[in-house]
Amino acid sequence: MVVLLCGAVSMTAAATPQVVQDPLTTGAHGPALVRVPGGWFLLGAHREDPEREPDEFPRARVEFSEDFLIGATEVTVAQFGQFVMASNYVTDAETTGCAIWNDGRLRHSYEATWRDIPGRDRDVHHPVVCVSWRDAQAYVGWLSEQTGNRYRLPTEAEWEYAARGGVGTRRFWGHQPQLACDYANVADFAHGRKYPNENRVLHECDDGFATLAPVASRGPNAFGLFDMLGNVWEWTCSEYVHPFDASAWHCASPGSPAPRVFRGGAWYLPPASVRTTHRNAGAPTAQAESIGFRVFRMF
């Protein structure tokens, strides 16, 4: 249960993360889930945060009266492939194409899908990308049928609470962007070597990945969650509203055409865009090689 309050911050990180993995009727297992302890936090950025954007405040205190479970990592190519094989599902990108990184920006490609992105070395351990919000909804619906538990995408508030890992700094490892490479795949020296003409601000470190990385390639936050910042953006179930209102702690109506929030930043983004409170949004049918998702269920 979520309760909206007002006040300061109180979050507790688990000493040893509890991991749950539900069996599927296919004989396989669903994604590994980490138990996140209940508590409360201030959603959004402080007005004095020099990196904040206008849509990151006003702050609101949100309380979680119960523990919940969220994916330890972003859903992988292998996990999404199990769903497609079992259900014969066809993603939006397989019909309309997907935006991929080219010459310093995302450009549409009719060849790119979750199965393959031209020019990228990917394997089953990479996060699945080129999936729309509708595709992610189809996957969590299938997981619910397979396991008997109700899976969904996290709300925007649940996502930020989990991403913070019990701290109130701009990034779950602290304020300093130069420490990102221990915890996140971001635009850094490795990215700069591959794309020397982009002229973008880089994190002053080297995570070893110029583009997309396998999940859990860098360290977790204090809750035991990997890639909450960097690697790929992650869909939430919430509508995008500016400024914050109750939409941030609720799921959007599935049929609503309103933009959906995605969070966390991606591998090509500079420090200002790889922060816990940074927000972005897209249409429910949008997809790109920089957007994936992780799953949520109640404990």
Structural domains of the chain, with CATH: 2-298 (3.90.1580.10)
What are 221-244's pLDDT values in tens digits? 999 999 999 999 999 999 999 988
How far does CA 203 lie from the centroid of its chain?
20
The edge-to-edge listing of strands for the beta sheet with 279-282 is: 279-282, 260-263, 233-239, 291-292
Phi, psi dihedrals of residue 177, rounded to the nearest 5°: -65, -25
Structure tokens given for 290: 């920089």
Indicate the pTM of the whole model: 0.94
Residue 146 half-sphere exposure toward CB, CA atoms < 13 A:
23
What are 166-217's pLDDT values in tens digits? 999 999 999 999 999 999 999 999 999 999 999 899 999 999 999 999 999 9
pLDDT of residue 243: 86
pLDDT of residue 7: 36
Strands 233-239 and 291-292: parallel
What are 105-136's pLDDT values in tens digits? 899 999 999 999 988 888 999 999 999 999 99
Does the N-terminal peptide bond of residue 271 adopt cis geometry, omega within 30 degrees of 0?
no
Longest pairwise C-alpha distance within the chain: 51
Does residue 234 contact residue 292 with C-beta atoms inside 8 Å? Answer: yes
Residue 238 host element (H or E) = strand 233-239
Report which of 215, 147, 145, 157 is spatially closest to residue 185, judged by C-alpha positions: 215
Q: How confident is the model at residue 94 (pLDDT cuts 50, 70, 90)?
A: very high
Residue 156 host element (H or E) = helix 156-164
Structure tokens given for 129: 């990308």
pLDDT at 76 over 50: yes
pLDDT of residue 124: 95
Can you tell me which residue has the tokens 């296919």?
A: 26
Question: What is the three-class DSSP state of 249?
Answer: helix
pLDDT of residue 246: 85
Report which of 272, 281, 195, 258 is spatially closest to residue 229, judged by C-alpha positions: 272
Q: Which residues, including other chains, have CB under 8 Å from residue 24's CB and lie 6 or more apart? A: 30, 82, 143, 146, 147
Please, what's the b/e burial string for 221-256 (b: 16 or more CB within 10 A of its CB; e: otherwise)?
bbbbbbbbbbbbbbbbbbbbbeebeebbbebbeeee
Cα gap 161→5, rounded to integer Å: 14
